[in-house]
Amino acid sequence: MGDVLDERRIIQRIREDLGHRTRGADPVPRAPAAAPPGAPPLDDVRLLHSGFDILDTGPLPSPRKIFGPAVTFGRRIVRRLMMPILTRQIAYNAANTRVVQDLRSDLGAAVRQQESAIAGQQAAITGIRDALNPSMARVAALEHRLDGTAATAHALEQRLDETRGYLGHRLDDLARALERRLDAEVAIGRRLDLASGVERETAVRLATLRADLDRAALRQDRLDRRFAALGGASAAQGAATPAPPAGDPAVGEPPPRSGGIDYAGLEDRFRGSEAEIKERQRPYLRHFRGRDPVLDIGCGRGEFLELLSEAGIAARGVDADRDMVLLCRDKGLDVAEGDASAQLAAMPDGSLGGIFCAQFIEHFRPEQIQRLARLCHEKLRPGGVLVFETINPACVSVFGRSFYLDPTHVWPFHPELTRFLLEGAGFREITLELLSPVDPATRLPHVGPPAFADADAALFNRAADMINATLLGHQDYALIGIRSSDAV
């Protein structure tokens, strides 16, 4: 509106300066009166529209008689001089009038649009208010309920505080009771530990007594069988003990196991339990699969015969000790009593697929084992296998451990001596297996810097290896030979 008022004042000032008057008006026309302050903008717009044309093209009379023509002439000259300026002013005034009119129209449209938007917003606000009225009522109800809930929560907090206090006292009481219970359990645990120690000691003593009882029962059983075999005669009556059957003079017999020594009891105590021997001999089964029948020479308690039977391999055994033979027969094993050479000599040549001989050859002299090896070669068919297991004298510690523990041992067979005897009997593809290693904890350890210089350490370690191999090696070995097709 400020811009419109400025234009209006400019037009009025121009009219006053030029002495504008409308056609047919007074000689000194007066500009249209401006709208009073505070009048509606529409009146100002109408006034501006009606007075934009300030150019007067009518006659210019003068009431003066003498100077009238001159004044009129002067006015015409002034009007002609002002014509370009007035023409531009009229165009400017007309443009301002059009702009103001367009602005008025746009303003009216904007006002109407704004009024319509305000009306729509008012309607929307009314609708929202109407929609919110139930929610406000619900909010008020919820606030009322919340106030009630707060009061209830306060009451619950008070009761919870009371409950905490009560539970705290109860927990204190329970903690004290638990401490007393734990003290009692600790005391009971100590008594149980003491009782467990006594129980373990008792179990150890019972196991020892049971083992002694088992050995005594086994010995009693052997004595009963021997007594029955002798026809009921007792040693106290001075009955003579029959001589063992004669062996093949070409091979010979092992030394007699008489003289009051219970050889079966000796083996039970020092050789190991039957379960231990079975597990120790189980790896030999791989050599005899598909090579039955097998003969076990010096079968003893029959551990390997049981393994062969469990594997489905036909086998029989021979042993010169009657107690051992009777024990094997009680197990249902096929075992003959007598000398091995006699049993072998009675068999057809090439009738056996395998011969097993464990902890046996050390009871004979080398020439006897040479003859036994040749006899085994004759009775095995081509491809048959012979296994000799014995004590390893290359491990010197066996002489302080096992060799002289058996009074019937005669000759320690070095592995290379046994290999030489088997090769002389005609066996080929002879392999050596070392068994029963000495406990590694007893072996001499290697040393090195900084305790020893490198050269000294190497010298000591070589000496330690030699001592370990000589004194603390493998206590047993087995030589496995294959029967060739060539005659000896």
Q: Please tell me whether the peptide bond between 450 and the residue prior to it is cis, using omega within 30 degrees of 0.
A: yes
Model pLDDT for residues 380-421, shown as the tens digit of each residue: 999 999 999 998 998 877 776 777 677 788 999 999 999 999
Residue type, position 14, single letter? I
DSSP state, 452?
Answer: S
Rounded to the nearest angstrom, the gap between the alpha carbon of residue 440 and the centroid of all alpha carbons in its chain is 34
Q: Give the max Cα distance, the chain.
A: 208
Q: What is the pLDDT of residue 36?
A: 59
The C-alpha atoms of residue 431 and residue 427 are separated, in whole angstroms, by 11
Answer with the one of 76, 108, 125 that is the final residue of a domain.
125
Q: How far is the CA of 81 from the CAs of 27, 69, 77, 90, in angstroms?
A: 20, 18, 6, 15
Q: Which of 464, 441, 461, 439 is nearest to 452 (CA)?
A: 461
Which burial class, exposed, middle or buried, applies to 3 when counting CB atoms under 10 A from its CB (0-12, 13-18, 19+)? exposed
**Residue 106 included in any domain:** yes
116 vs 108, 127, 433, CA distance in Å? 12, 16, 114
- Residue 186 lies inside a defined structural domain of this protein: no
E strands in 407-471: 427-437
Q: What pLDDT is stored for residue 4 in this prediction? A: 43
Asked whether residue 154 is domain-assigned, the answer is no
Contacts of 394 (CB under 8 A, 6+ apart): 414, 415, 470, 473, 477
What tokens were used for 38?
């505070």
Alpha carbons 146 and 91: distance in angstroms, whole number: 76
The answer as to whether 16 is a domain residue is yes
Which residue type occupies 40? P
Domain that holds residue 11: 2-125
SS3 395: coil
Q: Which residues in the chain land under pLDDT 70?
A: 1-58, 60, 62, 211-212, 214-219, 221-223, 225-271, 400, 404, 439, 441-444, 450-452, 464, 466, 468, 470-471, 486-488
* Cα–Cα distance for residue pair 110/103, rounded to 1 Å: 10
β-pairing verdict for 335-337 and 315-319: parallel
Which residue from 379, 373, 351, 349 is spatially nearest to 361, judged by alpha carbons? 373
Q: Could you tell me the CA-to-CA distances from 326 to 261, 332, 335 in Å, in that order?
A: 18, 10, 9
Starting at the edge strand found earlier in the chain, the sheet holding 427-437 runs 335-337, 315-319, 294-297, 352-358, 380-391, 474-483, 427-437
Is the residue at 165 inside a domain?
A: no
Give the other-Cβ count within 10 Å of 458's Cβ.
14
Residue 249 has phi, psi (to 5 degrees) of: -65, -20
Q: How far apart are CA 216 and CA 209, in angstroms?
A: 10
In sequence order, the β-bridge partners of residue 355 are 295, 386
SS3 per residue for 211-278: HHHHHHHHHHHHHHHHHHHCCCCCHHHCCCCCCCCCCCCCCCCCCCCCCCCCHHHHHHHHCCCHHHHH
Task: Confirm whether 137 is domain-assigned.
Answer: no
pTM as predicted? 0.48
Kindly state the helix (H) or strand (E) to which residue 126 belongs, with its residue range.
Answer: helix 68-229
Pick from 424, 434, 284: which is nearest to 357 by CA? Answer: 284
* Structural domain count of the chain: 2
What are the φ/ψ torsions at residue 483 (nearest 5 degrees)?
-70, 120
End of a domain among 125, 153, 184? 125
How many C-beta atoms surround the C-beta of residue 409 within 10 A? Answer: 18
Q: Does 207 fall in a domain?
A: no
What is the model's pLDDT at position 286?
95
∠ CA 435-436-439, nearest 5°, is 140
Do 315 and 309 contact (CB within 8 A), yes or no? Answer: yes
List the CATH number of the domain containing 280. Answer: 3.40.50.150
Cβ neighbours of 180 (radius 10 Å): 10
pLDDT of residue 230: 59
Tell me if 62 is assigned to some domain.
yes
**Cα–Cα distance, 418 to 434 (Å, whole number):** 14
